[in-house]
Amino acid sequence: MVLSLFGESLHLHHFATEQDVAEEFFILLSEARELYLQDVIVNRKRYDRYVDDFINRHRYIDCNHAVCRNCHEMNIHIVKGLLTGYAHIIKPLFTAESFSFEECMELKRMYDTSESPSKTVEHRADEPISNPPLSFGCNFTREQMAGIVSCANTYHLFNIPVCVEDMEALFACKEGFYLRVNTVRYVAILFDALLENTFIQSHWQSVLNRGRFLRSKDDTRFVSASSLSSALSAARNNMTSVAYGIRKAIGRLKE
């Protein structure tokens, strides 16, 4: 099997393990990133045309083994789903300084566990496409909201102590509201723990990104979905006592 990476030929062994499938997936997304920077950012190609061109250019592989062809077909299907359904996450990730294997796998995990927030809806060519309203899909009790506030203040997740009203504004997606974070990875752990305990829906990174509800500690920029994804991957790879404490505190909200 031969794949192209950044215009060069890259020879891979046949698909034998899940790691082989993951490596090809990373190669495909890495090349999608390079072509996005060239075609869309530099040459101003329409995003939907870029997606169509990339998928059509990578639809087939030079291999007759059924397993290899099936694995490639699965990977290219996921890539297309990410490029079309999660463009709001893909675009800032592709324009970041680097794109890692861990970020790639986090994208796949998100795709596997969430429903695409961008459903294709029929519309007239001259009709603007409106974004769906922002929502975490949550419904906390007053006691649960107080527990989240206690967790946030205990582990100093934000630059100032927060109150129940602050958390209500955040989870209600109040327009113009934002909080400054102390450590992005611990805030990411908080939301991941809420997802794990089914308090919120899986597209929380997209909601925080679109709503601009989090700002950096120095108040110079909004925290993007790609930053949250990278921070969460780093936190999972190096779980600290604080991260365990946050997860335990959120788990107790169900008691």
State the pLDDT at residue 116: 59
Q: Residue 63: is its pLDDT beyond 80?
A: no
Q: Tell me, what DSSP letter sits at residue 8? A: E
- With tokens 């509800």, the residue in question is 213
How far is CA 100 from each of CA 37, 45, 181, rounded to the nearest angstrom? Answer: 16, 25, 24
The dihedral built from the CA positions of residue 29, 202, 187 and 132, taken in this order, carries a sign that is: positive
Q: Residue 123: is its pLDDT beyond 60?
A: no
Q: Tell me the H-state helices in the chain.
A: 18-35, 47-57, 66-85, 87-94, 101-113, 142-154, 164-171, 184-196, 204-211, 225-237, 241-251
User: Which percentage of the chain shows pLDDT scores above 70?
Assistant: 87
Q: Give me the phi and psi of 215, to 5 degrees please.
A: -120, 160
State the pLDDT at residue 16: 65
By the 10 Å C-beta count (0-12 exposed, 13-18 middle, 19+ buried), 2 is classed as: exposed
- Give me the half-sphere count of Cα atoms (radius 13 Å) on the Cβ side of residue 36: 21
Q: Which residues pair with 181 in a beta bridge?
A: 158
Question: If DSSP codes are grouped into helix, strand and coil, which group holds residue 197?
Answer: coil
pLDDT tens-digit readout, 168-193 = 999 999 989 999 999 999 999 999 99
State the pLDDT at residue 115: 67
Q: Residue 93: is its pLDDT beyond 80?
A: yes
Region label for 247, one of left (φ > 0), alpha (ψ between -120 and 50) or beta (otherwise): alpha
Question: If DSSP codes are grouped into helix, strand and coil, which group holds residue 218?
Answer: coil
State the pLDDT at residue 245: 96
As given in the structure block, the two tokens for residue 163 are 């109150």
By the 10 Å C-beta count (0-12 exposed, 13-18 middle, 19+ buried), 36 is classed as: buried
State the pLDDT at residue 9: 38
Assess contact for 246 and 189: CB atoms under 8 A: yes
Question: What kind and span of H or E run contains 4?
Answer: strand 2-5
Give the predicted TM-score (pTM) of the model. 0.53
Residue type, 120: T
pLDDT tens-digit readout, 196-241 = 999 998 889 989 988 899 999 888 889 988 889 888 988 888 899 9
Q: Tell me, what DSSP letter sits at residue 201? A: -
CA triplet 128, 32, 91: central angle to 5 degrees? 45
Q: Residue 126: is its pLDDT beyond 80?
A: no
